[in-house]
Amino acid sequence: MIFIRQATFLSNRPTTMGKIAKLEYFRVPPRWLFVKVTDDEGRAGWGEATLEGHSQPVEGCLEAWAERLVGMDAE
């Protein structure tokens, strides 16, 4: 499951995100996978994707779904 926190900026107030422009993920040993969702205006939200410490299967799922998610509403 992926949990995305709302994007925050220098003012530290939550903002509404637009359509997804890019998904990036970063594997951090030993078991974490962080996901960065960037919208069409350059705003970003971060989340953690996990499956009980198995980041590789989740990474494969993100790879398979990334193309479908781009263009969808980030909210």
Looking at residue 70, its pLDDT comes to 92
How far is residue 16 CA from its own chain's centroid? 15
What are the sequence ranges of the domains in the chain?
A: 2-69
Looking at residue 74, its pLDDT comes to 80
The tokens for 45 are 């939200």
Tell me which residues of the chain have a pLDDT lower than 50. 1-10
Looking at residue 14, its pLDDT comes to 59
Looking at residue 1, its pLDDT comes to 45
How far is residue 3 CA from its own chain's centroid? 8
Q: What is the CATH T-level fold of the domain 2-69, as seen in this structure?
A: Enolase-like; domain 1 (3.30.390)
